[in-house]
Homo-oligomer: A and B are copies of this chain.
Amino acid sequence: MAENFRIIDGGVTAPKGFIANGHKDRKYGVTIIASEVDAVCAGVFTTNKVFAHPVSLSKETLKNSDTFRAIIANSGNANCFTKGGMDDARAFVKKASSLLNIPESQILSASTGVIGRKMAMDILNREVEKAYESLKLESNNENAAKAIMTTDAFKKTVAVEFNVGEKVVKIGGIAKGAGMIAPNMLHATMLGFITTDIEISKEELKNSLQNAADESFNNAVVDGDMSTNDTVFVLANGKSNVNYRECIEEFDKALLYISTELAKMIVSDGEGAKKLIEAVLKGAATKEDAKKASMSIVRSLLLKTAIHGADPNWGRIAAAVGYSGAEMDMNNFDIIISSITSGKETYLVKCGEQLADEGTAELKMAQEIMKDSKIRITVDLKKGEFKNTSFGCDLGYEYVRINSEYTT
């Protein structure tokens, strides 16, 4: 992307006035992100009608307060479907409040881990204390990113900065979430925490985050199920002395970049998931059609299997678009496959005509592209001007090996 921002180190600690650290001991971990000064906050949450206690609590806190100072999160237990879980969620915030000397009303929280089991409050309290002790010693983005990991294979962190005249605005984020399915983990819960030193109103931040999340986290598919704990927060503390209205476009682009990078890291993670699939749906009659069709592609279990086996099975792509409900004409659409890494690309279908027959140059090129670890599938429905991009991964468990080896 030829954007105006630069990628920098430091994740959530990159923007001015933010500190973070975390501590993890076996399953339970705690991450603390704090702002030196009052910050505004926006959040997006799972739309599942069944949701965890910390989601209820954070929604309430977000509604009742105007300024915030900290985000706390724990791994190890999702505090979902638990008796007395709301009390435990409040106790977690209270504990952090007393240590950080920040009112409970200014602390947002999130949880991820096993479901249906009561929070081990003694262990959790110990981890909050340890995370706090670490934070007193130093600000450490790495530890913050690691302490919220559950089945994640790698930590997820990204930050950017851009200039507005002489001044600099920074945005940084960390996330957790992985494609691996484990017993008692409800799903691959996505947590995303973003900090920025921009000066912005609560309402503006809410809009910017909602737009960014719709195009990033809400376009990411790991296993097709939707978690009860998904949470994304953005804290903005104004320390850059740059107001959002001076750089609306730049800020929104940078926030979208941060969100998209975190979402891509999430779908790229997980045992056996070795490939990122980017489904670009264009030429749709409506935005809804574009989203339905691109999501249908990255959700297709059969396509995920084909991608893993490096099989350029464009029929599965066409079929997934076909049953998505999006308006299409099977005699006039394109499918292009490209390697994000090398930039190589080829048509598989052009104006409804299959080009990648056996023995063709197109099929040979497609097979080469499929070996890449980052694959873009572009579908042009030629029905309108709307576009959407979704992110998914191959289905790379052992069963795929078995089924990939099966020969008809």
A263 at the B interface (CB under 8 A): no
Q: List 12 A-B contacts (CB under 8 A).
A: A49-B323, A50-B318, A50-B323, A83-B357, A114-B408, A181-B301, A183-B309, A184-B313, A187-B302, A228-B315, A272-B399, A301-B301
What count of chain A residues pass the 8 Å CB interface test?
65
A398 touches B404 (CB 8 A): no
| Interface hit among A131-139, A218-226, A245-253, A385-393 | A218-226
Interface string of A200-237 (1 = CB under 8 A from B): 00000000000000000000000111111000000000
Give chain A interface residues in 1-41, CB to chain B under 8 Å: 27
Contact A51/B330 with A225-B301, A302-B186 known, Cβ cut-off 8 Å: yes
CB of A305 closer than 8 Å to a CB of B:
yes
A115 interfacial by beta-carbon distance below 8 Å: yes
Do the beta carbons of A323 and B225 come within 8 Å of each other? Answer: yes
Q: Do A402 and B398 touch (CB < 8 A)?
A: yes
Q: Are B402 and A305 in touch, CB under 8 angstroms?
A: no
CB-nearest residue of chain B relative to A76? B408
Main secondary structure of the interface of A (DSSP, over half): loop
Q: From A225, which residue of chain B is reached at the shortest CB distance?
A: B302
Number of copies: 2
- Contact status B50-A301, CB under 8 Å: no
Interface residues of A (CB under 8 A from B): 27, 46-51, 80-81, 83, 114-117, 151, 180-187, 223-228, 272, 299-302, 305-306, 309, 311, 313-316, 318-323, 326, 328, 330, 354, 357-358, 397-404, 406-408
Residues of B within 8 A of A186 (CB): 302, 315-316, 319
Determine the distance from Cα of A185 to Cα of B301 in the docked complex, in whole angstroms: 13
Chain B contacts of A398 at CB under 8 A?
A: 398-399, 401-402
A406: nearest chain-B partner, CB-CB? B182
Q: A181–B318 contact, CB under 8 A?
A: no
Minimum distance in angstroms from A123 CB to a CB of chain B: 15
Question: What is the chain B residue whose CB lies nearest that of A185?
Answer: B408
Chain B residue with the shortest CB-CB distance to A400: B399
Q: How far is the CB of A83 from chain B (nearest CB, A)?
A: 7
Residue in B closest to A403 when the chains form the complex, CB atoms? B181
- State in angstroms the CA–CA spacing of A305 and B187 once bound together: 12
Q: By the criterion CB–CB under 8 Å, are A81 and B318 in contact?
A: yes
From B49, B313, B320, B408, A328 is in contact (CB under 8 Å) with B49
- Say whether B181 contacts A408, CB under 8 Å: no
A223 and B397 contact, CB distance less than 8 A: no
Say yes or no: A50 contacts B80, CB within 8 Å: no
CB distance from A87 to the nearest CB of B (A): 16
Pick the most buried of A46, A116, A320, A358: most chain B CB atoms within 10 A of its CB.
A116
By CB atoms of chain B within 10 A, which of A27, A183, A357, A397 has the most?
A183
A309 to chain B: which residues have CB within 8 Å? 183
| Residues of B with C-beta under 8 A to A299 | 224
Contact between A80 and B323 (Cβ–Cβ < 8 Å)? no
Which of B49, B116, B117 makes the CB contact (< 8 A) with A322? B49
Distance (whole angstroms) from the CB of A384 to the closest CB of chain B: 15
B-chain residues with CB within 8 Å of residue A314 when the two chains form the complex: 81, 116
With both chains docked as a complex, state the minimum distance between the C-beta of A308 and any C-beta of chain B, in angstroms.
11
Nearest CB in chain B: distance from A230 CB, A: 10
Q: Give me 16 other A-B pairs in contact (C-beta within 8 A), A81-B318, A397-B402 excluded.
A: A47-B323, A49-B326, A50-B323, A50-B330, A81-B354, A83-B357, A117-B358, A181-B302, A183-B306, A185-B408, A224-B224, A225-B300, A226-B322, A228-B319, A398-B398, A398-B402
